[in-house]
Structure 1
């Protein structure tokens, strides 16, 4: 993924500064040399967070500094939040993009977080099936039943347009 590229470049730079070969880094990190080679050559574009932690531990650098510096975040989260995020990353096998997304959300102002949650509710509300249940063929539906179906479809379309408008107005 694109967000991993700057982190990968920093890892390569630190590896070079320390004078480590791929073999040395593989040995120190406990990662198979073939896997490490694939990560460093961008064959693996989305390594697991546990793998990144092993690499950064072997290089004696804090993975958080690589991630947060990459996101240009001035106020890094407190260590407790960082520990919790790291636990979540390991538990749910999150990748760098997932962590980046969560970190950006955490660093939003409270008002923007509320707006974001409203958009998520709107986006996921259509996953709850409130559609009228068709118990008979179309030609046997009453006018009232047809009206309910049309209203439901219009409501879904309106929600989608509202969502798209909200996303495009905040799209930066």
Structure 2
């Protein structure tokens, strides 16, 4: 069984620690757990490892967030991974901070990375791990908030949430979507 785990984010040091790059942060933590190193490849930084008899490829698209679907489609086709075995890790303004939620499908909710993945895969029925970043910003300041770094208060919980996200990714590949949702979603 093969799985593709996609951490969404933007490349470049100016985005590295921003809320919008939580997908990259989780992907990095997942790779680190298995001593896997990312290599630059077609449209993404790519690494792979085995866990519980599953082959897992992790990518961080280098296409910038709004064109993430191009990398997802390429690697899913290249590795012959079915849509139900793709897991996209994404920041979510609609969920309160500290909320992690796995879903088998859903709308893009204004998220341009998800919109592009949906367009490229021709479906919104692909699993995603939504990492709640909250909506603690003033009117008109959404972009600044999303592209801002986590506050000192948020950092207290951040690394525990990243670790839990890694556990959810591994659970997804080991026991499947519905059992993982039952175990982790509140």
Structure of higher RCO (CA pairs closer than 8 Å, 6+ residues apart): 2
Q: Which has the higher helix share?
A: 1
Q: TM-score, normalised by structure 1?
A: 0.29
Greater Rg, structure 1 or structure 2?
1
